[in-house]
Amino acid sequence: MFALTIDIDHWVQKEFQTIDFGSKRLEKRFLRVMSDLSEEPEKSIWLSSGSRANAKAAYRMIGNEKFTKESILAAHKDTTNTRNQNNNILLAIQDTMAVSYATHKKTVGLGYNCEKTLGINVHSCLLVTPNGIPIGLIAQNVNTRTTNSDPRSQHEKQKRKIQDKESNRWLQTMQTAQTNTPTDVTLIHIADREGDIYEWYAQALRTNQNFVIRSIHDRLTPNKTRLLEELYQSKPKGCLKILVPENHKTQTREREATLTLRYMRQEIKKPKRIRAAGLESTLSLSLVSVKEENPPSDMEALEWVLATSLELSSCEDAVLVVDYYRQCWKIERFYFVLKSGCEIEKIQQHSVDRIELVVLMYSVISVHIMMLTYLARRFPDWSCELVFCESEWKTLYRAANRTVVVPKVPYSLGDALRFVAVLGGFVGAKSDGLPGLKVVWLGLNKLFVLHTFREFI
């Protein structure tokens, strides 16, 4: 199912084996640049290229009119579909990330990513298996605002058609994801509260697409009651225990939370502000509520209300919806790798169009890093041979354990992940938990260097 390797040239060749720019020379240069960036994703194109001539060739490639994001995504999509041979259900997780280019005032086409900051908004759709393994990027687009202020009132903004709003990207990405996925695979679209859009629900139901969205709006029902009032007055259907991971920002440790489970089927009314002709006046959704009734005194209670197209006939169905939504944070980790690992806010390009291309190239690299990390977490007992070739796992063992002894048999994938993390600075104390993405990408970079010069070690 998964074909991973730290042999960068081999991975790039396999990942983009169907790349087609209409120019063999351009395709060869692209593969070379992707290999250079993958070896040292934290470095710029100039520094990773190895020479002035290679760097200039990379910049010419990015400026070539035949070099398009559509071609890159098409090749990546082909390989993603090949990876997904055993899953008839995939989660398509959407989210937007703001990227700051505050000092890039001469970049052609650059506007604002919010009311104050020069930059872009990157909207991506990540494909994740139901058991949490990221396998590919199915869609990505970039936008930037022409001005840093809007003179219209909030009421005037809300009355606009969805096609005239930035939030239309959620609808467009949903359709793109569906178009680019094989017909024998069922997509379940996942989004956080920003995806709680009436027009989004309407389009999904009209086109028979499934979704799980965290609700933020307390919508009206046809009986003129409030949605949350109806939900919370319903009888609890059971309890659910989940493991809440530690949060370094809030300095909270990992804990187990007991959540009260409710679910129901309900109709919602179209908001009055929406006057689009032909849009359904009511929609029927399934709703799942999980709420922590007795949280620790120093912590905020967990509470999610999820809107879904999936039928709920039992507690098991509702729990599955919650499990699907819990994978939503994977796209946050994807953006973390992009920003912190690949350092995309340091990209130096002459135009927004070129920045978009480079962001996409780094995005494919980020997916590869995440795939390796979560595959090893999910299947720690698998053999490391499924990811590393013999010379790679032998070099990894010697480097992580600081020994000249060469192992005779391959070890587990879980051990391999820890060895990679050790190279990246992972200490492995009990309080550290599992190795994170940052130590993995740092460790892979060191392992690549060590493997390249293994004959001299």
Q: How many CA atoms lie within 13 A of 161 on its CB side?
A: 6
| Structural domain ending residue among the three candidates 313, 334, 353 | 313
CA–CA gap between residue 395 and residue 230 (Å, rounded):
60
Nearest to 188 by CA among 58, 323, 380, 76: 323
Same domain, 210 and 309: yes
CA–CA gap between residue 52 and residue 58 (Å, rounded):
10
| Structural domain ending residue among the three candidates 313, 340, 366 | 313
Q: What pLDDT, on the 0 to 100 scale, is given for residue 248? A: 67
Count of structural domains, the chain: 2
Please list, in sequence order, all residues whose beta carbon lies within 8 angstroms of the beta carbon of residue 305, skipping any fewer than 6 positions away.
Answer: 214, 215, 228, 231, 287, 288, 289
Tens digit of pLDDT per residue, the chain (457 long)? Answer: 444 555 677 888 889 999 999 999 999 999 999 988 887 777 788 888 888 999 999 999 999 999 999 999 999 999 998 888 778 899 999 999 999 999 988 999 999 988 788 999 999 999 999 989 999 999 999 999 988 777 676 666 677 788 888 889 999 999 999 999 888 899 999 999 999 999 999 999 999 999 999 999 999 999 889 998 889 889 999 898 888 877 666 667 778 889 999 999 999 999 888 877 788 899 999 999 999 988 888 788 889 999 999 999 999 999 999 999 999 999 999 999 999 888 999 998 999 999 999 999 999 999 988 988 898 888 999 998 888 888 889 999 999 999 989 899 999 999 999 999 999 888 876 666 778 888 888 888 788 778 776 655 5
Please list, in sequence order, all residues whose beta carbon lies within 8 angstroms of the beta carbon of residue 176, skipping any fewer than 6 positions away.
Answer: 125, 138, 139
Amino acid of residue 124: S
Structural domain including 302 reads 206-313
Does some domain include residue 297?
A: yes
CA–CA gap between residue 132 and residue 379 (Å, rounded):
11
Does some domain include residue 12?
A: no
For residue 281, count other CB atoms closer than 10 A to its CB: 9
Q: What pLDDT, on the 0 to 100 scale, is given for residue 398? A: 92
Does some domain include residue 412?
A: yes
Nearest to 347 by CA among 188, 120, 161: 120
CA–CA gap between residue 286 and residue 264 (Å, rounded):
6
CA–CA gap between residue 440 and residue 433 (Å, rounded):
14
| Structural domain ending residue among the three candidates 263, 294, 313 | 313
Stretch (H or E) spanning 26: helix 24-39
Does some domain include residue 18?
A: no
Beta bridge partners of residue 288, listed in sequence order: 263, 306
The reported pTM is: 0.90
- Are residues 134 and 367 in contact, defined by beta-carbon separation less than 8 angstroms? yes
Does some domain include residue 374?
A: no
Does some domain include residue 274?
A: yes
Q: What pLDDT, on the 0 to 100 scale, is given for residue 431? A: 62
Does some domain include residue 450?
A: yes
Nearest to 190 by CA among 87, 52, 325: 325
Does some domain include residue 321?
A: no
Return the structure tokens found at 372: 């390796």
Q: What pLDDT, on the 0 to 100 scale, is given for residue 1? A: 47
The CATH number assigned to the domain holding 245 equals: 3.90.350.10
Q: What pLDDT, on the 0 to 100 scale, is given for residue 39? A: 78
CA–CA gap between residue 398 and residue 410 (Å, rounded):
13
Q: Is 109 left (phi over 0), alpha (psi -120 to 50) or beta?
A: left
Same domain, 211 and 309: yes
